Amino acid sequence: MGYFIELVISGLAIGAIYGLVAMSFAVIYKATGIVNFAQGEMGMLTAYTSWSIAVTLGTGGVLTVLTAVVVGAVLGLLCERLIMRPMLGEPVLSVVLVTVGLAVVLRSIVTIVWGAAPHKFEVAGADTILQIAGIGIRVSQVTVIVVLLAALGGFWFFLRHSRFGVAMRAVAADEKTARLMGVSTARVQAVAWAAASGLAGLAGAFFAVIYGLAPTIFELGLKAFPATVLGGFDSIIGSGASGLIIGVLENLVGGYLPSTLKEIAGFVLILVVLMVRPFGLFGEKRIERV
Amino acid sequence: MRSGFFKQRYAELVVLTDSPAVKAWTAALVIALVAAPFIVSSFMLSHLTVILFTIVGALGLMVLTGFTGLISLGHVGFLMLGGYAYAIGVTRMGWPPEAALVLSAVVPAVFGLIVGLPSLRLHGLYLAITTLAFSHIVSASILAGGKFTGAGKGIMIERPVLFGMSVASDRAFYWFCLIMCVAAVLLTLNLRRSYVGRALVAVRDNDIAARTMGVNLWRYKLLAFLISAAITGVAGALMGMYASIVSVEGFPFLLSIEALAIIIVGGIGSVLGAVFGAIFIVTLPEVFSWLVKIGGGRLADLMTTSAHEIRSVLYGLAIIGFLRFDPRGLRGMWHDLRHTWVQWPLRF
């Protein structure tokens, strides 16, 4: 039983990271109708940049988290302004393929600049082990779960009660009408990219702190896909929560079944989910039958 | 300048070309390609061979993404299945290479049907993710396959003797790839101009309209997956023969991106585009490294240490650049060039 609970708790920690990335997918999808395949790479680049900043300036725990958010958001704004904005109005296929191209470029740039060797992302106090009900859990793992819950709450409040959040939902629901009502779709897109990259940056930084900094962080994007699909692409809160489900599932599969299955557990799950509910667990129903 | 395009029969409308000049140039190109091994250096010959089997693979993706408009991010899965089906057929089951080559088309085609099934219910992006998931599942299963699939080590294969002729030498293998490439080009060209091809393009352009006109979406989407996977599988077998080994590392995820880059750079939806794209994308890293060598300095060191990364950056930039500035791709440029040549000095 102790083993099971340990698996669930460490699954929740990795699931929280997936959840953050899954939320960032959903934010961009909801605001612009495209899937950003470069999300994992954004997180990776942010993690490496904030590592360099942390090493040079010696920033502490909270400051490192803030750096990650800011670096991620700036990166997102840059990508939006330089690459995505000129593609406004192009077919969805082209825009999505541009993000695929962006993903490949970012991934390789990180490897060229920082090298392929793994590093340890040292943050003071992150590795301290807390004893909760007899189970050891690291401070960083607890923090990432708290951060995910905070992000979920924050986004829920933002989308429901802030003026800009309502504008964002309006753009997602009907872009043309939103424009007629005086909502600037370009600004909504920019903010969505900044917010999403901030989330992805957080996820990347936490992943690096907990599991080490290596060029394979970009796989976070692939791993978080199942969570986004499970939650439904247009449901930000649902995607975040599904991250936890995927994380726990993956860890349980890895704990009790052969380890190769761990890598594909999430993908097998989404294949099943997509067959049964093609719009995700929490997504808006849009029936497609042929 | 030609004028008076007057067609009397239906067959004249769908004929591949009615221009004597195009026929003459194509014949000259084929003769040049057949004679190439006697003229070019061995490095150039292997480069040409790579281009030839890359064209086969790109045509596979073109049928699915270019003709039918179903995005696949997991084509490397079919490539891997083809390569492994051939290798397992030859080494584990002791089949003759001809039969194994057929197997390398059949196995991916069957899996193509399985992956295709969700495509009937899923919209573009969800489908792209399903195919991505598929390619990960394939590589994970091969790694978990133990002795039968060679797990992490892969399977060594020798260049086979096909129909009594050995393709062990580089020249013979080049000719073999040339034959396969020409066959794939003819297959897709003829597919595109037949009822099936028009149905696929109709599904891409507007599936509801296509359905109204009597195109069975269910049948043609699955057919697109089937044909695409079969062609890609053969390309995978050729890749395996070229490298003399099939392994999971030999089929990295980058190949899926490379295939997408090829059809975007070449021009989505045309066979000629796949050919142009394959030539461009395969040659791009070579030309780049040659330029860097001339430039020398620190960049040249970087080129030797991280060739894989540089290559990825080039593919990514090619995808972004073409989509941003000329979505019609190289084929569009070729089209403009040809028209300028034919119509000169008139503008159009």
H or E stretch at A135: strand A135-138
Instruction: Output the CA angle A242-A244-A248, nearest 5 degrees.
Output: 120
- Give me the pLDDT at residue B224, please: 92
Q: Do A205 and A64 meet the contact criterion of CB atoms below 8 Å apart?
A: yes
- Give me the pLDDT at residue B93, please: 82
Residue B144: list chain A partners with CB under 8 A: 258, 260-261
Per residue, what are the HEC states of B73-85? CCHHHHHHHHHHH
Number of domains in chain B: 2
Q: Residue B16 falls within a domain, yes or no?
A: no
Q: Residue B4 falls within a domain, yes or no?
A: no
> Which residue does chain B place closest to A96, by CA atoms?
B125
The DSSP output letter for A216 is G
Q: Which residue has the higher pLDDT, A65 or A153?
A: A153
pLDDT (mean) for A1-17: 84
Helix axes A185-211, A61-79, angle to 10 degrees: 140
Q: Phi-psi category of A232—alpha, beta or left, where left has phi over 0 and alpha has psi -120 to 50?
A: left
Distance in angstroms (rounded) separating the CA atoms of residues A26 and A22: 6
Residue B126: list chain A partners with CB under 8 A: 229, 233, 274, 278
For residue B319, give the nearest of A100, A225, A258 by CB distance: A100
Range of the domain at B161: 39-252
Per-residue CA distances from A122 to A42, A132, A145, A205, B153 (Å): 21, 23, 19, 11, 35
Distance in angstroms (rounded) separating the CA atoms of residues A32 and A193: 9
For residue A96, give the nearest of B125, B133, B317 by CB distance: B125
The DSSP output letter for A128 is P
B312–A105 CB contact, under 8 Å = yes
Which of B71, B127, B136 should be substituted to probe chain A, the one whose Cβ sees the most A Cβ atoms within 10 Å? B136
Q: Residue B26 falls within a domain, yes or no?
A: no
What the block records as the tokens of B154 is 């892969």
- Give me the pLDDT at residue B270, please: 87
Distance in angstroms (rounded) separating the CA atoms of residues B292 and A1: 60
Which of B73, B125, B219 should be substituted to probe chain A, the one whose Cβ sees the most A Cβ atoms within 10 Å? B125
Which of B212, B313, B326 should be substituted to probe chain A, the one whose Cβ sees the most A Cβ atoms within 10 Å? B313
CATH of domain A2-276: 1.10.3470
Q: Residue B94 falls within a domain, yes or no?
A: yes
Per residue, what are the HEC states of A55-90? HHHCCCHHHHHHHHHHHHHHHHHHHHHHHHHHHCCC
Beta-carbon contacts of residue B300 (< 8 Å; ≥ 6 apart): B292, B293
B323–A103 CB contact, under 8 Å = no
pLDDT (mean) for A126-139: 73
pLDDT along chain B (348 residues), means of 10: 73 81 89 88 89 92 89 89 90 84 92 82 73 85 79 80 78 89 93 91 88 89 92 92 85 83 86 90 83 71 72 84 84 87 78
Instruction: Tell me whether B315 touches chain A (CB under 8 Å).
Output: yes
| Same domain as B94, residue B80 | yes
Residue A96: list chain B partners with CB under 8 A: 71, 124-125, 128
| Same domain as B192, residue B154 | yes
Q: Chain A interface residues facing chain B, Cβ-Cβ under 8 Å? A: 34-35, 37, 83, 86-87, 90, 92-94, 96-98, 100-105, 107-109, 111-112, 222, 225-226, 229, 233, 258, 260-261, 263-264, 267-268, 270-271, 274-275, 278, 288-290
The ipTM (two decimal places) reads: 0.77
Q: Residue B177 falls within a domain, yes or no?
A: yes
Question: Considering chain A, what percentage of its residues have pLDDT values greater than 70?
Answer: 92
pLDDT in tens, B17-55: 878 888 899 899 999 988 888 888 888 898 899 999 999
- Give me the pLDDT at residue B303, please: 66
B121–A275 CB contact, under 8 Å = yes
Report the gap between the CA of B312 and the closest CA in chain A (Å).
6
Q: Residue B323 falls within a domain, yes or no?
A: yes
Report yes or no on whether pTM surpasses 0.90: no
| Same domain as B269, residue B247 | no
Among A36, A49, A188, CA closest to A102? A36
Report the gap between the CA of A51 and the closest CA in chain B (Å).
21
- Give me the pLDDT at residue A290, please: 39
Distance in angstroms (rounded) separating the CA atoms of residues B98 and B155: 18
Cα Dmax for chain A: 58
Among A204, A192, A206, A27, CA closest to A110? A204
Peptide bond into B345 cis (omega under 30): yes
B261–A102 CB contact, under 8 Å = no
H or E stretch at A130: strand A129-132
pLDDT band at A169 (very low <50, low <70, confident <90, very high): confident
Q: Which of B236, B252, B268 is the last residue of a domain?
A: B252
Q: Residue B11 falls within a domain, yes or no?
A: no
Strand partners, A63: none
Which chain B residues in 203-222 lie under 8 Å from chain A, judged by CB atoms?
Answer: 207, 211, 217-218, 221
| Same domain as B91, residue B187 | yes
| Same domain as B102, residue B58 | yes
- Give me the pLDDT at residue B234, please: 93
pLDDT in tens, A240-267: 888 888 888 888 888 887 777 777 787 7
- Give me the pLDDT at residue B348, please: 62
Residue B254: list chain A partners with CB under 8 A: 104
Q: C-alpha A278: how far from its chain's center? A: 21
| Same domain as B307, residue B238 | no
Per residue, what are the HEC states of chain B? CCCCCCCCCHHHHHCCCCCHHHHHHHHHHHHHHHHHHHHCCHHHHHHHHHHHHHHHHHHHHHHHHHHCCCCCCCHHHHHHHHHHHHHHHHHHCCCCHHHHHHHHHHHHHHHHHHHHHHHCCCCHHHHHHHHHHHHHHHHHHHHCCCCCCCCCCCEECCCCEECCEECCCHHHHHHHHHHHHHHHHHHHHHHHHCHHHHHHHHHHHCHHHHHHCCCCHHHHHHHHHHHHHHHHHHHHHHHHHHHCEECHHHCCCHHHHHHHHHHHHHCCCCHHHHHHHHHHHHHHHHHHHHHHHHHCCHHHHHHHHCHHHHHHHHHHHHHHHHHHHCCCHHHHHHHHHHHHHHHCCCCC
| Same domain as B313, residue B296 | yes
Reduced to 3 states, what is the DSSP secondary structure of residue A108?
Answer: helix
Question: Which amino acid belongs to residue A33?
Answer: G
pLDDT band at A287 (very low <50, low <70, confident <90, very high): very low
> Which residue does chain A place closest to B117, by CA atoms?
A275
pLDDT in tens, A75-121: 999 988 888 888 877 777 778 888 888 888 888 888 888 877 787 77
Distance in angstroms (rounded) separating the CA atoms of residues A216 and B291: 30
Instruction: Tell me whether B309 touches chain A (CB under 8 Å).
Output: yes
Q: Which of B206, B236, B252 is the last residue of a domain?
A: B252
Per-residue CA distances from B301 to A108, B292, B296 (Å): 16, 9, 8
A267–B73 CB contact, under 8 Å = no
Residue B308: list chain A partners with CB under 8 A: 108
What residue spans define the domains of chain A? 2-276
For residue A104, give the nearest of B207, B211, B312 by CB distance: B312
B323–A87 CB contact, under 8 Å = yes
| Same domain as B187, residue B85 | yes
Q: Residue B25 falls within a domain, yes or no?
A: no
Instruction: Output the CA angle B305-B307-B311, nearest 5 degrees.
Output: 155
Report the gap between the CA of B191 and the closest CA in chain A (Å).
23
For residue A35, give the nearest of B122, B125, B327 by CB distance: B125
Beta-carbon contacts of residue B60 (< 8 Å; ≥ 6 apart): B75, B78, B184, B228, B229, B230, B231, B232, B233, B235, B259
- The answer, yes or no, to whether residue A289 has pLDDT greater than 70, is no
Number of residue pairs across A and B with CB atoms under 8 Å? 133
Residue B124: list chain A partners with CB under 8 A: 92-93, 96
Q: How many CA atoms lie within 13 A of B292 on its CB side?
A: 17
- The answer, yes or no, to whether residue A58 has pLDDT greater than 60, is yes
Sign of the dihedral through C-alpha A279, A284, A285, A289: negative
pLDDT in tens, B255-286: 888 888 888 888 888 888 899 999 988 888 88
Within 10 angstroms of residue B177's Cβ, the number of other Cβ atoms is 24
Q: C-alpha A244: how far from its chain's center? A: 12
Among B275, B272, B263, B246, CA closest to B318? B263
| Same domain as B229, residue B305 | no
- Give me the pLDDT at residue B66, please: 87
A104–B128 CB contact, under 8 Å = no
| Same domain as B62, residue B195 | yes
- Give me the pLDDT at residue B1, please: 56
Reduced to 3 states, what is the DSSP secondary structure of residue A270?
Answer: helix
H or E stretch at A129: strand A129-132
H or E stretch at A131: strand A129-132
Q: How many CA atoms lie within 13 A of A50 on its CB side?
A: 37
Q: Which of B252, B269, B299 is the last residue of a domain?
A: B252
pLDDT in tens, B122-149: 766 677 778 888 888 888 888 887 777 7
